[in-house]
């Protein structure tokens, strides 16, 4: 099924996000050649098999906001995981993307 193949691509890419860095749903989608598929990346993150130990907490919204409350045990847990890796937040509670966005180009993965 095409969606399963895309999910697998998402998982491979997300597994490469280093500690202390974040990527947005849209960034992941664009890197995989599907720039309008940010929501599908979100579905992949929500469906990620726990035994793969993917750093899904490092994928956030384009605004720097964290995942919805139902993901990762809640946004407080996601924030704690990111802060433990050195990710900083602005006064409004969003991730400082200028400092922590993962910079990778399509030709590097």
Active site residues: 56
Per-position b or e across 2-21, b if 16+ CB within 10 A of its CB = eeeebbebbbebbeebeeeb
Query: How far apart are the C-alpha atoms of 55 and 18, rounded to whole Å?
Result: 9
């Amino acid at each position: 099924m095409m969606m399963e193949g895309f999910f697998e691509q998402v998982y491979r890419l997300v597994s490469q996000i280093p500690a202390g860095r974040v990527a947005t749903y849209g960034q992941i989608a664009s890197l995989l050649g599907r720039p309008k598929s940010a929501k599908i990346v979100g579905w992949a993150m929500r469906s990620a098999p726990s035994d793969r130990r993917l750093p899904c907490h490092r994928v956030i919204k384009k605004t720097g906001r964290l995942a919805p409350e139902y993901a990762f045990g809640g946004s407080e847990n996601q924030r704690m995981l990111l802060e433990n890796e050195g990710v900083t937040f602005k006064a409004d509670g969003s991730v400082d993307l200028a400092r922590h966005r993962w910079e990778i180009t399509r030709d590097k993965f």
